[in-house]
A and B are shown apart, each in its own frame.
Chain A
Amino acid sequence: MSTTDLVKPYQQLRSDTLGRDRGLREKVMSLEAAAKLVEDGDHVGIGGCTMSRTPMAMIWALIRARRKNLVVSRSITSTEGDLLLASGVSKHVVTSWFSQGIVWGVSKVMRHYTEAKLARFDEWSHMSIGLRYRAGAMGIPFMPSRSMVGSDVGKRVGDQIRTMACPFTGEQVTLLPALNPDVALIHVQRCDAYGNAQLDGLQFMDIDMAMAANRVILTTERIVSNEQIRRTPDQTRIPFFTVEAVVEAPIGCAPHECYGVYEPFFASLDDYAERISKDPLEGCRQYLEEFYYAPKSWPEYLSKIGMDAVLDACRRGRSVHND
Protein backbone atom coordinates (compact mmCIF):
# COMPACT_ATOMS: atom_id res chain seq x y z
CA MET A 1 0.00 0.00 0.00
CA SER A 2 1.42 3.38 -0.93
CA THR A 3 0.63 6.28 1.34
CA THR A 4 -1.78 7.75 -1.22
CA ASP A 5 -4.14 4.77 -1.00
CA LEU A 6 -3.31 3.93 2.61
CA VAL A 7 -6.48 5.54 3.92
CA LYS A 8 -9.73 4.97 2.06
CA PRO A 9 -11.10 8.36 0.91
CA TYR A 10 -14.06 9.47 3.04
CA GLN A 11 -16.40 9.97 0.08
CA GLN A 12 -15.70 6.42 -1.07
CA LEU A 13 -16.17 5.04 2.44
CA ARG A 14 -19.60 6.69 2.63
CA SER A 15 -20.72 5.79 -0.90
CA ASP A 16 -19.60 2.14 -0.49
CA THR A 17 -21.76 1.92 2.62
CA LEU A 18 -24.74 3.67 1.03
CA GLY A 19 -24.41 1.37 -1.98
CA ARG A 20 -25.12 -1.74 0.07
CA ASP A 21 -28.60 -3.05 0.90
CA ARG A 22 -28.76 -2.30 4.61
CA GLY A 23 -32.31 -3.53 5.09
CA LEU A 24 -33.25 -6.17 7.64
CA ARG A 25 -33.00 -9.17 5.32
CA GLU A 26 -31.96 -12.81 5.57
CA LYS A 27 -28.47 -13.50 4.28
CA VAL A 28 -27.75 -17.12 5.19
CA MET A 29 -25.59 -18.88 2.62
CA SER A 30 -22.97 -21.60 2.17
CA LEU A 31 -19.23 -21.20 2.73
CA GLU A 32 -18.76 -21.51 -1.03
CA ALA A 33 -21.27 -18.75 -1.80
CA ALA A 34 -19.73 -16.48 0.84
CA ALA A 35 -16.26 -17.04 -0.62
CA LYS A 36 -17.54 -15.54 -3.89
CA LEU A 37 -18.11 -12.24 -2.06
CA VAL A 38 -14.35 -11.84 -1.62
CA GLU A 39 -12.53 -10.57 -4.69
CA ASP A 40 -8.89 -11.09 -5.63
CA GLY A 41 -6.82 -8.21 -4.25
CA ASP A 42 -9.29 -7.35 -1.48
CA HIS A 43 -8.07 -6.22 1.93
CA VAL A 44 -9.48 -8.86 4.26
CA GLY A 45 -9.56 -8.28 8.01
CA ILE A 46 -9.50 -11.49 10.04
CA GLY A 47 -11.31 -11.53 13.36
CA GLY A 48 -10.23 -13.20 16.57
CA CYS A 49 -6.65 -13.30 17.82
CA THR A 50 -3.89 -15.93 17.69
CA MET A 51 -5.72 -19.23 18.32
CA SER A 52 -9.04 -17.71 19.34
CA ARG A 53 -12.20 -17.35 17.25
CA THR A 54 -10.19 -17.60 14.06
CA PRO A 55 -12.72 -17.76 11.18
CA MET A 56 -11.04 -20.93 9.97
CA ALA A 57 -13.99 -22.33 8.00
CA MET A 58 -14.15 -19.13 5.93
CA ILE A 59 -10.37 -19.13 5.42
CA TRP A 60 -10.69 -22.79 4.38
CA ALA A 61 -13.29 -21.76 1.78
CA LEU A 62 -11.15 -18.88 0.46
CA ILE A 63 -8.12 -21.14 0.08
CA ARG A 64 -10.25 -23.73 -1.75
CA ALA A 65 -11.66 -20.98 -3.99
CA ARG A 66 -8.02 -20.09 -4.81
CA ARG A 67 -8.37 -16.38 -4.14
CA LYS A 68 -5.26 -14.38 -5.05
CA ASN A 69 -3.37 -11.37 -3.71
CA LEU A 70 -5.48 -10.72 -0.66
CA VAL A 71 -3.99 -8.23 1.78
CA VAL A 72 -4.81 -9.71 5.17
CA SER A 73 -4.77 -7.86 8.46
CA ARG A 74 -5.21 -9.27 11.95
CA SER A 75 -4.31 -8.37 15.52
CA ILE A 76 -2.04 -11.44 15.92
CA THR A 77 -1.52 -14.00 13.16
CA SER A 78 -1.14 -17.72 13.88
CA THR A 79 -1.29 -20.89 11.74
CA GLU A 80 -3.91 -19.40 9.41
CA GLY A 81 -1.23 -16.95 8.27
CA ASP A 82 1.09 -19.80 7.29
CA LEU A 83 -1.70 -21.38 5.26
CA LEU A 84 -2.70 -18.13 3.53
CA LEU A 85 0.92 -17.62 2.42
CA ALA A 86 1.60 -21.24 1.45
CA SER A 87 -1.65 -21.52 -0.56
CA GLY A 88 -0.79 -18.39 -2.54
CA VAL A 89 -3.94 -16.62 -1.33
CA SER A 90 -1.93 -13.78 0.24
CA LYS A 91 1.50 -12.26 -0.18
CA HIS A 92 0.91 -9.39 2.22
CA VAL A 93 0.13 -9.67 5.93
CA VAL A 94 -0.44 -6.67 8.21
CA THR A 95 -0.22 -7.72 11.86
CA SER A 96 1.57 -7.27 15.17
CA TRP A 97 2.89 -10.80 15.72
CA PHE A 98 3.14 -13.73 13.34
CA SER A 99 3.85 -17.34 14.40
CA GLN A 100 1.82 -20.33 15.55
CA GLY A 101 2.17 -19.47 19.25
CA ILE A 102 4.89 -18.95 21.85
CA VAL A 103 5.03 -22.61 22.88
CA TRP A 104 5.65 -23.71 19.26
CA GLY A 105 8.41 -21.19 18.49
CA VAL A 106 8.98 -19.08 15.38
CA SER A 107 6.97 -20.10 12.30
CA LYS A 108 9.28 -21.53 9.66
CA VAL A 109 6.66 -20.90 7.01
CA MET A 110 6.49 -17.20 7.90
CA ARG A 111 10.30 -17.19 7.97
CA HIS A 112 10.59 -18.76 4.51
CA TYR A 113 8.16 -16.37 2.82
CA THR A 114 9.44 -13.21 4.49
CA GLU A 115 13.17 -13.98 4.45
CA ALA A 116 13.06 -14.99 0.75
CA LYS A 117 11.03 -11.81 0.13
CA LEU A 118 8.16 -13.81 -1.35
CA ALA A 119 5.73 -12.09 0.98
CA ARG A 120 5.44 -8.89 2.93
CA PHE A 121 4.87 -8.82 6.71
CA ASP A 122 4.06 -5.28 7.83
CA GLU A 123 4.70 -5.19 11.57
CA TRP A 124 2.71 -2.71 13.65
CA SER A 125 2.41 -2.59 17.44
CA HIS A 126 -0.68 -4.39 18.70
CA MET A 127 -2.34 -1.23 20.03
CA SER A 128 -1.60 0.53 16.75
CA ILE A 129 -3.38 -2.17 14.73
CA GLY A 130 -6.33 -1.82 17.10
CA LEU A 131 -6.41 1.98 16.89
CA ARG A 132 -6.21 1.78 13.09
CA TYR A 133 -9.37 -0.36 13.02
CA ARG A 134 -10.94 1.99 15.57
CA ALA A 135 -10.21 5.04 13.41
CA GLY A 136 -11.72 3.10 10.51
CA ALA A 137 -14.79 2.31 12.63
CA MET A 138 -15.12 5.97 13.62
CA GLY A 139 -14.99 7.24 10.05
CA ILE A 140 -11.93 9.39 10.71
CA PRO A 141 -8.69 9.24 8.68
CA PHE A 142 -6.22 8.80 11.53
CA MET A 143 -5.83 8.29 15.26
CA PRO A 144 -3.23 9.92 17.52
CA SER A 145 -1.36 7.64 19.91
CA ARG A 146 1.76 7.47 22.06
CA SER A 147 3.59 4.30 21.04
CA MET A 148 5.72 3.18 18.06
CA VAL A 149 7.83 6.39 18.26
CA GLY A 150 11.50 5.98 19.15
CA SER A 151 11.51 2.35 17.98
CA ASP A 152 12.53 0.71 14.72
CA VAL A 153 8.98 -0.67 14.42
CA GLY A 154 7.89 2.92 13.84
CA LYS A 155 10.81 3.73 11.54
CA ARG A 156 10.29 0.61 9.44
CA VAL A 157 6.71 1.44 8.46
CA GLY A 158 8.17 4.70 7.09
CA ASP A 159 5.70 7.38 6.10
CA GLN A 160 2.75 5.11 6.85
CA ILE A 161 2.86 6.81 10.24
CA ARG A 162 3.46 10.48 10.92
CA THR A 163 4.05 12.51 14.02
CA MET A 164 2.72 15.93 14.86
CA ALA A 165 2.69 18.42 17.67
CA CYS A 166 -0.66 18.34 19.43
CA PRO A 167 -2.45 21.61 18.55
CA PHE A 168 -3.65 21.96 22.16
CA THR A 169 -0.65 20.90 24.26
CA GLY A 170 2.30 20.94 21.85
CA GLU A 171 3.23 17.34 22.76
CA GLN A 172 4.49 15.05 20.03
CA VAL A 173 2.00 12.34 19.12
CA THR A 174 2.03 9.49 16.59
CA LEU A 175 -0.64 9.52 13.89
CA LEU A 176 -1.89 6.12 12.76
CA PRO A 177 -3.76 5.79 9.45
CA ALA A 178 -7.29 4.32 9.55
CA LEU A 179 -7.71 0.72 8.42
CA ASN A 180 -10.97 0.00 6.57
CA PRO A 181 -10.92 -3.60 5.30
CA ASP A 182 -12.94 -4.40 2.18
CA VAL A 183 -14.21 -7.49 3.98
CA ALA A 184 -14.03 -8.61 7.61
CA LEU A 185 -14.24 -12.34 8.38
CA ILE A 186 -15.60 -12.84 11.89
CA HIS A 187 -16.62 -16.02 13.69
CA VAL A 188 -19.12 -15.81 16.57
CA GLN A 189 -20.92 -18.16 18.92
CA ARG A 190 -24.38 -17.16 17.63
CA CYS A 191 -26.18 -14.78 15.33
CA ASP A 192 -29.54 -14.55 13.60
CA ALA A 193 -30.25 -14.91 9.89
CA TYR A 194 -29.95 -11.12 9.49
CA GLY A 195 -26.45 -11.02 10.96
CA ASN A 196 -27.10 -9.67 14.47
CA ALA A 197 -24.13 -11.25 16.18
CA GLN A 198 -23.62 -12.05 19.85
CA LEU A 199 -20.22 -13.15 21.02
CA ASP A 200 -19.05 -14.52 24.33
CA GLY A 201 -15.74 -14.04 26.07
CA LEU A 202 -12.88 -12.05 24.60
CA GLN A 203 -13.92 -9.63 21.84
CA PHE A 204 -10.41 -8.93 20.53
CA MET A 205 -10.71 -6.26 17.78
CA ASP A 206 -13.81 -7.73 16.16
CA ILE A 207 -16.30 -4.96 16.89
CA ASP A 208 -14.08 -2.18 15.55
CA MET A 209 -13.14 -4.34 12.58
CA ALA A 210 -16.79 -5.02 11.75
CA MET A 211 -17.64 -1.30 11.91
CA ALA A 212 -14.53 -0.35 9.90
CA ALA A 213 -15.04 -2.90 7.11
CA ASN A 214 -17.07 -2.29 3.99
CA ARG A 215 -18.84 -5.59 4.63
CA VAL A 216 -18.71 -8.45 7.12
CA ILE A 217 -18.87 -12.18 6.42
CA LEU A 218 -20.05 -13.85 9.62
CA THR A 219 -19.53 -17.49 10.37
CA THR A 220 -21.31 -18.77 13.44
CA GLU A 221 -21.46 -21.82 15.64
CA ARG A 222 -25.24 -21.65 15.34
CA ILE A 223 -27.96 -19.50 13.85
CA VAL A 224 -30.58 -18.43 16.39
CA SER A 225 -33.93 -16.72 15.88
CA ASN A 226 -34.26 -12.97 15.65
CA GLU A 227 -36.66 -13.28 18.62
CA GLN A 228 -33.87 -14.73 20.73
CA ILE A 229 -31.57 -11.86 19.75
CA ARG A 230 -34.28 -9.34 20.68
CA ARG A 231 -34.60 -10.86 24.17
CA THR A 232 -30.96 -9.91 24.93
CA PRO A 233 -30.08 -6.99 22.64
CA ASP A 234 -27.45 -5.88 25.19
CA GLN A 235 -25.46 -8.97 24.17
CA THR A 236 -25.48 -8.07 20.47
CA ARG A 237 -22.04 -6.78 19.48
CA ILE A 238 -22.24 -6.58 15.68
CA PRO A 239 -25.31 -5.01 14.05
CA PHE A 240 -26.97 -6.71 11.06
CA PHE A 241 -26.46 -3.80 8.66
CA THR A 242 -22.68 -4.30 8.60
CA VAL A 243 -23.12 -7.94 7.60
CA GLU A 244 -23.31 -9.25 4.03
CA ALA A 245 -23.32 -13.01 4.66
CA VAL A 246 -24.17 -15.41 7.47
CA VAL A 247 -22.77 -18.92 7.31
CA GLU A 248 -23.52 -21.59 9.90
CA ALA A 249 -20.19 -23.36 10.47
CA PRO A 250 -20.18 -25.52 13.63
CA ILE A 251 -16.72 -25.99 15.15
CA GLY A 252 -15.81 -23.31 12.62
CA CYS A 253 -12.48 -22.34 14.24
CA ALA A 254 -10.92 -25.81 14.45
CA PRO A 255 -8.12 -26.44 15.28
CA HIS A 256 -8.25 -23.05 17.05
CA GLU A 257 -10.69 -22.24 19.87
CA CYS A 258 -14.11 -20.65 20.24
CA TYR A 259 -14.73 -19.31 23.75
CA GLY A 260 -17.03 -21.49 25.83
CA VAL A 261 -17.54 -23.99 23.00
CA TYR A 262 -14.12 -25.59 22.41
CA GLU A 263 -10.52 -24.98 23.41
CA PRO A 264 -7.61 -25.26 20.94
CA PHE A 265 -7.09 -28.73 19.48
CA PHE A 266 -3.65 -29.12 21.03
CA ALA A 267 -2.84 -32.53 19.50
CA SER A 268 -3.76 -31.25 16.02
CA LEU A 269 -1.67 -28.12 16.58
CA ASP A 270 1.29 -30.20 17.74
CA ASP A 271 0.88 -32.39 14.65
CA TYR A 272 0.84 -29.30 12.42
CA ALA A 273 3.95 -27.92 14.14
CA GLU A 274 5.77 -31.20 13.64
CA ARG A 275 4.96 -31.30 9.92
CA ILE A 276 6.20 -27.72 9.53
CA SER A 277 9.36 -28.19 11.53
CA LYS A 278 10.57 -31.07 9.36
CA ASP A 279 10.09 -29.23 6.05
CA PRO A 280 8.08 -26.01 6.17
CA LEU A 281 7.07 -25.90 2.51
CA GLU A 282 6.47 -29.58 1.92
CA GLY A 283 4.81 -29.91 5.34
CA CYS A 284 2.46 -27.04 4.58
CA ARG A 285 1.75 -28.35 1.07
CA GLN A 286 0.80 -31.77 2.40
CA TYR A 287 -1.30 -30.23 5.18
CA LEU A 288 -3.19 -28.10 2.65
CA GLU A 289 -3.74 -31.10 0.41
CA GLU A 290 -5.01 -33.32 3.23
CA PHE A 291 -7.09 -30.84 5.18
CA TYR A 292 -8.01 -28.11 2.69
CA TYR A 293 -8.28 -29.48 -0.84
CA ALA A 294 -9.21 -33.15 -0.30
CA PRO A 295 -12.24 -32.84 2.05
CA LYS A 296 -15.42 -32.06 0.16
CA SER A 297 -17.13 -30.21 3.00
CA TRP A 298 -16.44 -28.57 6.36
CA PRO A 299 -17.83 -31.63 8.21
CA GLU A 300 -15.41 -33.79 6.19
CA TYR A 301 -12.55 -31.51 7.32
CA LEU A 302 -13.69 -32.02 10.93
CA SER A 303 -13.87 -35.79 10.37
CA LYS A 304 -10.29 -35.67 9.16
CA ILE A 305 -9.30 -33.92 12.43
CA GLY A 306 -11.22 -36.69 14.20
CA MET A 307 -14.24 -37.13 16.44
CA ASP A 308 -12.05 -37.81 19.50
CA ALA A 309 -10.24 -34.51 18.99
CA VAL A 310 -13.50 -32.60 18.48
CA LEU A 311 -15.08 -34.04 21.61
CA ASP A 312 -11.96 -33.44 23.70
CA ALA A 313 -11.72 -29.80 22.56
CA CYS A 314 -15.46 -29.31 23.26
CA ARG A 315 -15.21 -30.87 26.72
CA ARG A 316 -12.38 -28.49 27.63
CA GLY A 317 -14.07 -25.54 25.95
CA ARG A 318 -17.35 -25.92 27.82
CA SER A 319 -15.49 -26.28 31.12
CA VAL A 320 -15.53 -22.47 31.56
CA HIS A 321 -19.23 -22.84 32.35
CA ASN A 322 -18.61 -25.41 35.09
CA ASP A 323 -17.41 -23.21 37.94
Chain B
Amino acid sequence: MTKAGKTTDYTASELLAVMAGRLLVDGQIVFAGVGVPLLAATLAQRIHAPHLTILFEGGTIGPFIVPGELPPSTNEQRCTRRANMVLPITDVLLLLQRGYVDVGFMGGAQIDRFGNLNSSFIGPPENPRIRLPGTGGGNDISSLTDMIVAMKHEKRRFVADVDFITSPGWINGRRTRAEAGLPQGGMWRVVTDLAIMGFDAETREMKVLALHQGVTREQVQDNTGFKLRFDSNVETAEPPRQEELKVLRELDPERLYTA
Protein backbone atom coordinates (compact mmCIF):
# COMPACT_ATOMS: atom_id res chain seq x y z
CA MET B 1 0.00 0.00 0.00
CA THR B 2 2.99 2.25 0.48
CA LYS B 3 4.05 4.55 -2.27
CA ALA B 4 6.51 7.40 -1.91
CA GLY B 5 6.04 7.41 1.86
CA LYS B 6 2.27 7.55 1.55
CA THR B 7 -0.20 4.91 2.62
CA THR B 8 -3.95 4.35 2.64
CA ASP B 9 -3.72 1.81 5.42
CA TYR B 10 -4.92 3.79 8.43
CA THR B 11 -8.00 4.06 10.63
CA ALA B 12 -10.40 7.00 10.69
CA SER B 13 -9.08 8.01 14.12
CA GLU B 14 -5.51 7.98 12.85
CA LEU B 15 -6.56 10.16 9.92
CA LEU B 16 -8.20 12.61 12.35
CA ALA B 17 -5.13 12.72 14.58
CA VAL B 18 -2.76 13.35 11.66
CA MET B 19 -4.88 16.04 10.02
CA ALA B 20 -5.60 17.81 13.30
CA GLY B 21 -1.99 17.60 14.42
CA ARG B 22 -0.86 19.42 11.28
CA LEU B 23 -3.03 22.41 12.23
CA LEU B 24 -0.99 23.03 15.38
CA VAL B 25 1.87 25.51 15.22
CA ASP B 26 5.21 25.32 17.02
CA GLY B 27 5.25 27.34 20.22
CA GLN B 28 1.52 27.21 20.77
CA ILE B 29 -0.11 26.43 24.09
CA VAL B 30 -2.81 23.84 23.46
CA PHE B 31 -5.56 22.84 25.88
CA ALA B 32 -6.15 19.21 24.91
CA GLY B 33 -8.65 16.50 25.75
CA VAL B 34 -7.57 12.85 25.85
CA GLY B 35 -8.04 10.62 22.80
CA VAL B 36 -7.52 12.12 19.35
CA PRO B 37 -6.68 15.66 20.64
CA LEU B 38 -3.87 14.37 22.86
CA LEU B 39 -2.54 12.08 20.12
CA ALA B 40 -2.64 14.92 17.59
CA ALA B 41 -0.84 17.35 19.90
CA THR B 42 1.81 14.78 20.81
CA LEU B 43 2.24 13.91 17.14
CA ALA B 44 2.73 17.60 16.33
CA GLN B 45 5.40 17.80 19.07
CA ARG B 46 7.25 14.86 17.54
CA ILE B 47 7.01 15.97 13.90
CA HIS B 48 7.00 19.74 13.52
CA ALA B 49 6.19 21.52 16.77
CA PRO B 50 8.76 20.56 19.44
CA HIS B 51 8.01 23.67 21.50
CA LEU B 52 4.28 23.09 21.68
CA THR B 53 2.93 22.98 25.23
CA ILE B 54 0.03 20.74 26.22
CA LEU B 55 -2.31 21.72 29.04
CA PHE B 56 -4.61 19.17 30.66
CA GLU B 57 -7.80 20.09 32.43
CA GLY B 58 -6.78 17.96 35.42
CA GLY B 59 -4.12 20.58 36.16
CA THR B 60 -0.99 19.80 34.15
CA ILE B 61 1.32 22.15 32.26
CA GLY B 62 3.55 20.68 29.58
CA PRO B 63 3.68 16.91 30.17
CA PHE B 64 5.23 14.37 27.79
CA ILE B 65 3.03 11.32 27.45
CA VAL B 66 4.74 7.95 27.85
CA PRO B 67 4.08 5.80 24.77
CA GLY B 68 1.69 2.96 25.56
CA GLU B 69 0.58 4.65 28.79
CA LEU B 70 -2.14 6.93 27.47
CA PRO B 71 -4.26 8.44 30.24
CA PRO B 72 -7.91 7.32 30.56
CA SER B 73 -8.93 10.93 31.27
CA THR B 74 -7.12 14.26 31.72
CA ASN B 75 -7.08 13.71 35.46
CA GLU B 76 -4.82 10.76 36.24
CA GLN B 77 -1.14 10.57 37.15
CA ARG B 78 -0.33 9.49 33.59
CA CYS B 79 -1.16 13.08 32.59
CA THR B 80 1.63 14.48 34.73
CA ARG B 81 4.64 12.60 33.38
CA ARG B 82 7.61 14.95 32.94
CA ALA B 83 5.31 17.95 33.33
CA ASN B 84 6.67 21.41 34.08
CA MET B 85 4.04 22.07 36.71
CA VAL B 86 0.88 20.72 38.25
CA LEU B 87 -1.75 23.08 39.58
CA PRO B 88 -5.39 22.96 40.73
CA ILE B 89 -8.07 22.36 38.08
CA THR B 90 -9.59 25.79 38.62
CA ASP B 91 -6.25 27.48 38.00
CA VAL B 92 -5.41 25.61 34.81
CA LEU B 93 -8.86 26.53 33.47
CA LEU B 94 -8.28 30.14 34.50
CA LEU B 95 -5.28 30.20 32.12
CA LEU B 96 -7.92 30.17 29.37
CA GLN B 97 -9.70 33.14 30.88
CA ARG B 98 -6.43 35.01 31.45
CA GLY B 99 -5.51 34.45 27.81
CA TYR B 100 -2.49 32.12 27.84
CA VAL B 101 -4.03 29.46 25.60
CA ASP B 102 -3.77 29.56 21.79
CA VAL B 103 -5.98 26.59 20.93
CA GLY B 104 -8.54 24.41 22.66
CA PHE B 105 -8.78 20.99 21.14
CA MET B 106 -11.51 18.42 21.79
CA GLY B 107 -13.77 15.76 20.34
CA GLY B 108 -17.47 16.32 19.77
CA ALA B 109 -20.69 14.31 19.95
CA GLN B 110 -22.84 16.70 17.86
CA ILE B 111 -22.03 19.92 16.01
CA ASP B 112 -24.14 22.40 14.05
CA ARG B 113 -23.58 24.75 11.12
CA PHE B 114 -22.29 27.51 13.41
CA GLY B 115 -19.86 25.22 15.22
CA ASN B 116 -21.86 24.89 18.43
CA LEU B 117 -21.17 21.60 20.21
CA ASN B 118 -23.55 19.40 22.14
CA SER B 119 -22.33 16.86 24.68
CA SER B 120 -25.28 17.10 27.07
CA PHE B 121 -28.59 15.90 25.61
CA ILE B 122 -29.83 14.04 22.54
CA GLY B 123 -33.45 15.08 22.12
CA PRO B 124 -35.21 17.83 24.09
CA PRO B 125 -33.28 18.63 27.32
CA GLU B 126 -36.42 18.37 29.47
CA ASN B 127 -37.19 14.91 28.11
CA PRO B 128 -34.02 13.62 26.45
CA ARG B 129 -33.63 10.41 24.52
CA ILE B 130 -30.06 10.24 25.83
CA ARG B 131 -28.52 12.10 28.74
CA LEU B 132 -24.86 12.56 27.75
CA PRO B 133 -22.03 13.13 30.27
CA GLY B 134 -22.04 16.92 29.94
CA THR B 135 -19.60 19.76 29.45
CA GLY B 136 -16.64 19.05 31.68
CA GLY B 137 -14.34 21.89 30.68
CA GLY B 138 -15.75 22.01 27.14
CA ASN B 139 -17.93 25.01 27.82
CA ASP B 140 -15.03 26.96 29.38
CA ILE B 141 -12.54 26.08 26.65
CA SER B 142 -14.89 26.94 23.79
CA SER B 143 -16.03 30.13 25.53
CA LEU B 144 -12.54 31.46 26.04
CA THR B 145 -10.21 30.41 23.19
CA ASP B 146 -9.98 29.37 19.53
CA MET B 147 -11.17 25.82 19.00
CA ILE B 148 -10.28 22.78 16.95
CA VAL B 149 -12.74 19.89 17.02
CA ALA B 150 -11.95 16.40 15.71
CA MET B 151 -14.90 14.07 15.13
CA LYS B 152 -16.38 11.43 12.83
CA HIS B 153 -18.33 12.88 9.90
CA GLU B 154 -21.86 11.48 10.22
CA LYS B 155 -25.23 12.99 9.36
CA ARG B 156 -26.56 12.46 12.90
CA ARG B 157 -23.55 14.32 14.29
CA PHE B 158 -23.58 17.21 11.78
CA VAL B 159 -26.97 18.83 12.31
CA ALA B 160 -28.43 22.21 11.36
CA ASP B 161 -29.05 23.10 15.00
CA VAL B 162 -27.76 21.15 17.98
CA ASP B 163 -30.33 19.97 20.52
CA PHE B 164 -28.40 21.81 23.24
CA ILE B 165 -25.45 24.21 23.11
CA THR B 166 -23.00 22.74 25.60
CA SER B 167 -19.90 24.41 24.16
CA PRO B 168 -20.64 27.62 22.25
CA GLY B 169 -19.32 28.11 18.74
CA TRP B 170 -20.61 31.08 16.76
CA ILE B 171 -24.11 30.68 18.37
CA ASN B 172 -26.44 31.93 15.58
CA GLY B 173 -23.71 33.25 13.30
CA ARG B 174 -22.48 36.75 12.45
CA ARG B 175 -21.89 38.72 15.66
CA THR B 176 -24.14 36.70 17.95
CA ARG B 177 -21.25 35.11 19.87
CA ALA B 178 -19.77 38.45 20.91
CA GLU B 179 -23.24 39.83 21.60
CA ALA B 180 -23.94 36.87 23.91
CA GLY B 181 -21.03 37.99 26.09
CA LEU B 182 -18.21 35.97 24.50
CA PRO B 183 -15.86 38.53 22.90
CA GLN B 184 -12.91 36.13 22.59
CA GLY B 185 -12.22 32.81 20.85
CA GLY B 186 -14.58 30.78 18.69
CA MET B 187 -14.72 27.67 16.56
CA TRP B 188 -11.75 27.70 14.16
CA ARG B 189 -11.44 24.27 12.52
CA VAL B 190 -13.48 21.08 12.41
CA VAL B 191 -11.48 18.04 11.33
CA THR B 192 -13.34 14.89 10.25
CA ASP B 193 -12.55 11.66 8.47
CA LEU B 194 -13.85 13.29 5.25
CA ALA B 195 -12.77 16.92 5.30
CA ILE B 196 -11.35 19.95 7.09
CA MET B 197 -13.78 22.78 7.69
CA GLY B 198 -13.57 26.38 8.81
CA PHE B 199 -16.12 29.15 9.21
CA ASP B 200 -17.01 32.07 6.97
CA ALA B 201 -15.53 35.29 8.38
CA GLU B 202 -18.82 37.19 7.93
CA THR B 203 -21.70 34.77 8.39
CA ARG B 204 -19.77 32.30 10.57
CA GLU B 205 -21.32 29.38 8.70
CA MET B 206 -19.31 26.18 8.39
CA LYS B 207 -17.50 25.77 5.07
CA VAL B 208 -15.28 23.08 3.63
CA LEU B 209 -11.65 24.16 3.23
CA ALA B 210 -10.08 20.83 2.21
CA LEU B 211 -11.15 17.31 1.31
CA HIS B 212 -9.22 14.19 2.21
CA GLN B 213 -7.81 12.25 -0.72
CA GLY B 214 -10.47 10.32 -2.63
CA VAL B 215 -13.39 12.12 -0.93
CA THR B 216 -15.92 13.98 -3.11
CA ARG B 217 -17.95 17.08 -2.31
CA GLU B 218 -21.14 15.00 -2.66
CA GLN B 219 -19.87 12.49 -0.13
CA VAL B 220 -19.26 15.23 2.44
CA GLN B 221 -22.64 16.84 1.77
CA ASP B 222 -24.43 13.45 1.99
CA ASN B 223 -22.98 12.93 5.45
CA THR B 224 -23.96 16.39 6.66
CA GLY B 225 -27.42 17.32 7.98
CA PHE B 226 -27.36 20.87 6.59
CA LYS B 227 -26.29 22.67 3.41
CA LEU B 228 -22.53 22.90 3.49
CA ARG B 229 -20.65 25.80 1.99
CA PHE B 230 -17.42 25.23 0.11
CA ASP B 231 -14.47 27.57 0.04
CA SER B 232 -13.66 29.09 -3.36
CA ASN B 233 -10.41 27.16 -3.29
CA VAL B 234 -11.06 23.69 -1.83
CA GLU B 235 -7.80 21.80 -1.50
CA THR B 236 -7.03 18.11 -1.24
CA ALA B 237 -5.25 17.33 2.02
CA GLU B 238 -2.04 15.33 1.84
CA PRO B 239 -2.76 11.81 3.13
CA PRO B 240 -1.07 10.62 6.34
CA ARG B 241 2.62 9.91 5.89
CA GLN B 242 4.36 6.79 7.18
CA GLU B 243 6.37 8.76 9.74
CA GLU B 244 3.16 10.25 11.17
CA LEU B 245 1.42 6.88 11.45
CA LYS B 246 4.53 5.37 12.98
CA VAL B 247 4.48 7.91 15.79
CA LEU B 248 0.76 7.38 16.42
CA ARG B 249 1.20 3.61 16.61
CA GLU B 250 4.12 3.99 18.97
CA LEU B 251 2.01 6.23 21.22
CA ASP B 252 -1.07 3.99 21.15
CA PRO B 253 0.13 0.44 20.49
CA GLU B 254 -3.03 -1.08 21.99
CA ARG B 255 -5.25 1.12 19.78
CA LEU B 256 -7.08 2.46 22.81
CA TYR B 257 -7.98 5.66 20.98
CA THR B 258 -7.05 4.87 17.36
CA ALA B 259 -9.00 1.65 16.67
A residues at B contact (CB < 8 Å): 49-52, 75-76, 95-99, 101-103, 106-107, 110-111, 114-115, 121, 123-128, 130-131, 133-134, 145-153, 156, 163, 172-174, 201-208, 257, 259-260, 263-264, 266, 317, 320, 323
Contacts and interface: CB of A to CB of B under 8 A. Distances in A.
A51 to B, nearest CB: 6
Given A153-B166, A204-B75, A130 B90 contact: yes
B144 interface: yes
Contacts of A134: 90
A205 B168 CA distance: 25
B135 A150 contact: no
B35 A102 contact: yes
Nearest to B70: A103
Given A125-B140, A127-B97, A204 B89 contact: yes
Interchain residue pairs A-B with the least CB separation, the first 5: A130-B90, A150-B180, A97-B136, A127-B93, A125-B139
A320 B140 contact: no
Contact of B90 (A95, A131, A172): A131
A151 B177 CA distance: 10
B177 to A, nearest CB: 7
Contacts of B257: 103
Nearest to A131: B90
A287 to B, nearest CB: 19
Contacts of A103: 72, 256-257
Interface residues of B, number: 54
B97 A147 contact: yes
Contacts of A208: 88, 90
B253 interface: no
A223 to B, nearest CB: 22
B80 interface: yes
Contacts of B165: 150-153
Contacts of A204: 58-59, 75, 88-89
Interface stretch (B5-13, B125-133, B151-159, B240-248): B125-133
A148 B165 CA distance: 10
Contacts of A99: 133
A199 B138 CA distance: 27
A174 B136 CA distance: 18
A148 B89 CA distance: 17
Contact of A126 (B76, B131, B135): B135
Contacts of B60: 202
A123 B88 contact: no
26 contacts: A51-B72, A52-B75, A76-B73, A97-B133, A101-B73, A103-B257, A115-B130, A121-B131, A121-B134, A126-B136, A127-B90, A145-B97, A147-B140, A150-B143, A152-B125, A152-B164, A152-B166, A153-B135, A153-B166, A201-B86, A202-B75, A202-B86, A203-B86, A203-B87, A205-B89, A264-B72
Nearest to A53: B75
A106 B168 contact: no
A175 to B, nearest CB: 12
B25 interface: no
Residue of A145, A173, A207, A317 most packed against chain B (CB within 10 A): A145
Residue of A127, A130, A163 most packed against chain B (CB within 10 A): A127
Contacts of B35: 102
Nearest to B120: A123
B76 A52 contact: yes
